[in-house]
Structure formats: C-alpha cells, structure tokens
A and B are shown apart, each in its own frame.
Chain A
Amino acid sequence: SQTIHQWPATLVQPVGSPLSLECTVEGTSNPNLYWYRQAAGRGLQLLFYSIGIGQISSEVPQNLSASRPQDRQFILSSKKLLLSDSGFYLCAWSPGLNQPQHFGDGTRLSIL
C-alpha cells in the first residue's frame, strides 16, 4: 500500500533563517504531489503542485519554493523565513487525474 511521510512534525525557526521540509511517497510511481499551507482557523491554500520530476507549478507568489529532485520526493524550501510563513504545512499525493489526494501528517512551523 501507499504511504506518505512528512518531516519534521514540528519546527521552530527564527525570522530570516532557511527552511527545508521534506515529503516522500512510497508504494507508487509518478504521483502528483502537492504542498498546502493551513493557517490557524483557516482552510487549505495550495502552494505548489508537481506532475513529474523537475516540474513545479506555483499557485501563489510567496517567500517559498518547491523542488522535486526524485519521483517520490517533494521539498518545500525558503531562503529567509518571514513571520507570515508560520502555519501548518501539508504534503499530499494523488495517483492521477481527478483522483483523491492523500495527505501526510503535516509540519507545524512556528516562526519567532
């Protein structure tokens, strides 16, 4: 069966520091991959999605970037974090077109 892993589960970073969140999927190949952010008390905002290695689409302009160096690996990065980057970050995958997305357990990021 397929599984998705995200780490770390929680992270506290100072303003201006870099960020790297990692997500990996097991048990499938060529998944669609997604990064979401969930701010406190709000819904989910799609940040990036990818349909293949090296193919990244950004949904909103921001201080973050994403990369997909391997088929089942999706990384969310920032060179310099802002206070507004705080939130709950979720990675998800889907097997194909219009199929359900399956989510990781999330990373709670706090910026001090």
Chain B
Amino acid sequence: AQSVTQLDSQVPVFEEAPVELRCNYSSSVSVYLFWYVQYPNQGLQLLLKYLSGSTLVKGINGFEAEFNKSQTSFHLRKPSVHISDTAEYFCAVTTDSWGKLQFGAGTQVVVTP
C-alpha cells in the first residue's frame, strides 16, 4: 500500500518570500500525485497534478511541483507568496485503479507581512 508523508506540519513565511512544502511517498508501483489547497471552512481545491510526462508540473496560483522518482518526492514550491496563500496544503497519491487517494496530514502555511 502507498503512504504519504508531509514533513512539515506548519510553515511560517513572509510575504513575497519563496516557500517549499515537502512531500514524500512510498509505493512499489507507478504513482499519480496531486497537491490540493484548503482555505478555512472550504473544500479542497486542486493545485496541480502529476500523471505522466514532464516531471516539473505547473499549477494554478503560481505553484509548481517536481516529481523525483529516485527520491520518491513531490515537493511544492512558489517563488513569491502572497497573504492570500495562507491555507492548508495537502499532498495526495494514488496507485489504485479506483483512483482512491491517500492524503498526507497537511501543511499549514501562514504568510505574514
């Protein structure tokens, strides 16, 4: 079975600074990877996905992530954050034909002026 580890439970960052959220997974077969963002009291919104092809994936709101098969990682990055990026971010992986997602525990990003 696959598992997902988000290494940081909370990441404080200043406005306009870069941010990286770390995600590692374990799986013995090919994976499909996703990052979601959740604003307070809302559902999850898809930021980006890796299904196949280029290992550098660009998503919405200026986020990007890089799939590294050898390190089993899918870290999320943004070169310059805004106050509005304050939210919780979830990494998710699936290898199942049903498309069931295994979510990480989440990383809370707090952007301050």
Contacts and interface: CB of A to CB of B under 8 A. Distances in A.
Interface string B85-107: 00000100010111111011110
A43 B104 contact: yes
Given A42-B105, A43-B106, A44-B90, A99 B43 contact: no
Given A43-B105, A98-B32, A103 B43 contact: yes
A4 to B, nearest CB: 8
Chief secondary structure at chain B's binding surface: loop
Contacts, number: 56
Interface residues of A, number: 26
Contact of A94 (B99, B104, B105): B99
Nearest to B34: A100
A78 to B, nearest CB: 21
A44 B97 contact: no
A39 to B, nearest CB: 11
Given A43-B90, A90-B44, A98 B51 contact: yes
B84 interface: no
B44 A100 contact: no
A44 B96 CA distance: 17
B70 interface: no
Which of A90, A92, A98 has the largest number of chain B CB atoms within 10 A? A98
Contact of A100 (B49, B96, B98, B106): B49
A101 B105 CA distance: 17
A57 B99 CA distance: 13
Given A100-B34, A106-B42, A44 B51 contact: no
Nearest to B43: A103
A108 B41 contact: yes
Given A98-B94, A106-B43, 20 more contacts: A32-B98, A43-B106, A44-B101, A49-B100, A59-B100, A92-B43, A94-B99, A96-B99, A98-B32, A98-B51, A98-B96, A98-B99, A100-B46, A100-B49, A101-B99, A102-B46, A103-B44, A104-B43, A105-B42, A106-B42
29 contacts: A32-B98, A34-B100, A42-B105, A43-B90, A43-B103, A43-B104, A43-B105, A44-B44, A44-B90, A46-B101, A49-B98, A51-B98, A59-B100, A97-B97, A97-B98, A98-B94, A98-B96, A99-B99, A100-B46, A101-B46, A101-B101, A103-B43, A103-B44, A103-B45, A105-B42, A105-B43, A106-B41, A106-B42, A108-B41
